[in-house]
Structure 1
Amino acid sequence: MITTWLVIGTAAFGGGFAFNKLFPSDYKWFMRLRRPRWLTFEKAIPFIWIFIFICGITSAAALWEAQPSTFSTWLIMASYAIVEFAILSYTPVMTRLRNVRAGVFSGAIGFILGLVLTTQVWQISSLAGWLLMPYLLWSPIGTYVTWVMVRLNPTNQ
C-alpha cells in the first residue's frame, strides 16, 4: 500500500505542479475581490484542500490495492486525474477570464465529476469511496462561497 500511495501521490503532485506551471493564475486580481463577511475561515482553506488531496490520493491507492491492474481500474485512475484537473482548473479559469461566475461553473463541474467518480469507486471499494467524501462535502461549500462572491463583485462577472 505504501508503494502504491507514493506512486499515486507523486503522479498527483507532479500533475498538479505541471498544471499550475502551464496555467498560471492572477492571484493579485483574485485577492482584490470582495468576500462575504462570514468567510472567517479563509486562512484554513489551503489546509482543507491539502487534506482533501491526501484523502483523494489515499482513495486511489485503496482502489488500486482492491483491484490492481485491470482495465476498469486504469479507467477509474484516469477519472481521478480528470477530477484533479477539474479541481485545479478553478483558479486559473476564473483568474484568466477575470470572471467569478466562471469559478462557480468550474466548481460545479468539479463536484459533478467527483460525484460520478465516487459512485464508480464505491462499487469496488467502500473505503476508497468514503475517502472521497471530504471533497464531496467541501466542494459545494467552496462553490457557494464563489457564488456569493459573484454578487459581491458585480463588475467581475
Structure 2
Amino acid sequence: MTAWIADLTAWPLALPTAVGAAWALVVAGLGGWLTDVSSWYQNLRFPSWRPPDWLFGPAWTVIFICIVAAGVLAWRDAPTGAERALLIGLFLVNTVFNVAWSLLFFRLRRPDWALVDVVALWASIVALIIGVGRTSTDAALLLAPYAAWVSFAAFLNWTMVRLNPRTAPASPGAARPARSV
C-alpha cells in the first residue's frame, strides 16, 4: 500500500462528509443570495442589542460546520438504513425552513411571515436534536449552537415585527411602505 493513502477506516465517512459539505455550501449560498440588505432593510427599526451585520456570516459558518459534523456523526452511528433515512428527512425539513426564512424576511419583505417560519425552524431543530441524539449524543450537542442562534434570531425577528408593524401589507395586494413610521 502506498504511503499517501490514508487509513481505510476513514473512507466510509468520506461520502457523507462530502455530501454534508456540499449541502452546507448550497444552503449558505441560497441564504446569501436571498439575503438582500437593500434600502428596505436598512430603513427598518432595529433593537439596540442587534448584532452587527458582519457577525452573521461568521456565526452561520460555525453553525454550518457544526451541523455537518453532527450529520456525519449521526450517519456513522445510525444502526439501520431506516434510521439514516429518518435523519436525511429531518435535515431536509430543517433545510426548507432555514432557506424559507431568508426568502420570507428579505425577498418577500415579510418579517411577520418569517416569524412564523422561524418558530417552525426552531421546532425542526429540536426534532433534529432528538433525531440525531438517538444515534449520537455528540451529534446532538453539536446542534446546540444552531438551536441557541435560532432562538436568539427568533427573538430578534419578533422584536423587529413589533418595532416595524407597518412592514407587512394590510392585504395581499396592498403596497408595502419602504420605511416604517
TM-score computed with the length of structure 2 as normaliser: 0.75
Which residue of structure 1 lines up, in the alignment, with residue 46 of structure 2? 35
Share of identical aligned residues, percent?
Answer: 23
Of residues 25-34 and 142-151 in structure 1, the stretch that sits farther from structure 2 once superposed is 25-34
1:118/1:132 contact within 8 Å kept: yes
Cα distance in structure 1, aligned partners of 2:97 and 2:64: 13
1:10 and 2:22 matched: yes
Tell me how far 1:24 sits from its aligned partner.
4.0
RMSD: 2.3
For the 8 Å contact 1:26–1:92, the answer to whether it is kept is: no
Aligned to 2:147: 136
Aligned to 1:105: 116
- Tell me which residue corresponds to 1:84: 95
Cα displacement (A) at 1:40: 4.0
Indicate conservation of the 8 Å contact 1:55/1:131, yes or no: yes
> 1:18-65: per-residue Cα shift (whole Å, max 9, x none)?
x459x8454312233221112244421221111111100110011111
Count of aligned pairs? 155
Which has the higher mean CA deviation after the structures are superposed, 77-86 or 52-61? Answer: 77-86
Question: CA shift at 1:144, angstroms?
Answer: 0.5
Name the residue aligned to 1:47: 58
SS at match of 2:24: helix
More contact order relative to length (CA 8 Å, sep ≥ 6)? 1
Provide the rounded CA distance (Å) in 1 between the counterparts of 2:65 and 2:79.
20
1:114 to 125, 142, 154: 125
Counterpart position of 2:71: 60
In our comparison, the structure showing a higher alpha carbon Rg is 2
Contact 2:31 2:102 in 1 (8 A): no
Unaligned runs of 5+ in 1: none
Counterpart pick for 1:146 among 152, 157, 164: 157
8 Å CA contact retained: 1:56, 1:131: yes
- Give the structure with the larger helix fraction: 1
Q: Is it true that 1:126 corresponds to 2:121 in the alignment?
A: no
Asked if 1:73 is matched to 2:63, the reply is: no
- For 1:7 and 1:49, the matched residues in 2 are separated by 18
